[in-house]
Chain A
């Protein structure tokens, strides 16, 4: 037995030299990846369905794909690759071959601009407004879509990266487009917005009890909702929050920090509550519930799971 293992180890080691040249492999991988991206972008632009790396269903009259040259927004190809694939998306001309004829499928979209590089997205429905990924994710969750919906969409769009699917879906929602699946959850109600504002301001359950005493109200949920609505209306509450709000997480500032907004939205969209944050805090040895919610939300956005169920 021992001889077998030794012989196997020697055999494996002796044949490692057969490994192909790394530079050659990388070059060919780049070429394949460029093909994937071109097909995917063409399919998205024409509304076709990418069935696989080599198959695209639907008409592909490759539309004019505008690649943004600045670094402000997120182009899909760049978003998908991250900044780690310079060889893959080297230049706009190599990344997507423009066609002189825009697809009739998208003729309803306004022309992007005479400029060849104004679109934040390779989609021809070039929105004049660009969104970053966090905003796209926030929009996705705020409309009641969740992870399961992203899985459904990933199957429909044949995009395996769930994070990319969520961002793409969020972008469509921001652009006023409908998604081909119904949200599992429900869009934020006014009560949810109020509750989110309440917690985002740093108030917690104990604060609600105190407020209840002041307001002669015993329904804690109602107290939090009323308090949150007051905050949304720009009013102040008669008590300060027990847990000071993290600067990026306050209701008013969250909009200016898309990352915090998205993490925050993800946390609540997954059904987690303040009490869950307290439980997580115990596990993580963290007392700042705002920070916990954002960290937990970021984990959810990253596709990780939390140690407790909502």
Chain B
């Protein structure tokens, strides 16, 4: 990867970077804004980035930092629409009932993820989507390992509680 030009980097890594950004932010537009800003800055300082051990990791760190420092009001802007779109997409393909259930669940979890504080969400994404261990996450976030574990624990607890409340509500409705 060392010595790679920005054009080469963009051609090979940008799609994956965008997938990471959308999972990290939970919002298509925010992901686009974050990656655009990061890429613009990365171009200007590409010489330094290209000399890093892993330019890919460097840019991903920039995306993470940008997301964590983003000041815009973005939470839940498009969350509901996102869930609906995923469900619509699945139904449109004539998926089986089981698959449709899975999609509904995924939408539900996605919406619940959107309610988490950014750092907690980032920890979950880094841990389960990026498959990083807690030490690596701590290094990326600039915090202690115990903080990572604490954030992950809180996030999972929040998601579970919401899920239980949701199930109670659904059961009560029936």
Q: List chain A positions with a Cβ less than 8 A from chain B.
A: 1, 4-5, 7-12, 14-20, 22, 24-26, 28-30, 32-33, 36-37, 40, 53, 79-88, 160-164, 302-303
Contacts and interface: CB of A to CB of B under 8 A. Distances in A.
Interface string B17-29: 0110111001010
Contacts of A302: 51
A24 B86 CA distance: 22
Contacts of A88: 6, 43-44
Nearest to B89: A17
Interface string B108-142: 01100100000000001100110000000000000
Given A8-B109, A29-B35, A82-B50, A18 B6 contact: no
Interface in B1-35: 4-10, 14-15, 18-19, 21-23, 26, 28, 31-32, 35
A18 B82 contact: yes
Contacts of B10: 22, 26
Interface in B143-174: 156, 159-160
A81 B48 CA distance: 9
The secondary structure that dominates the B interface is helix
Interface residues of B, number: 51
Contacts of A37: 44
Contact of A81 (B22, B47, B89, B156): B47
A9 B5 contact: no
21 contacts: A4-B156, A5-B128, A8-B124, A10-B106, A10-B109, A11-B110, A14-B106, A17-B86, A17-B89, A22-B14, A22-B18, A25-B18, A26-B14, A33-B39, A81-B6, A82-B46, A82-B50, A84-B6, A87-B7, A88-B6, A164-B48
A115 B109 CA distance: 63
A89 to B, nearest CB: 9
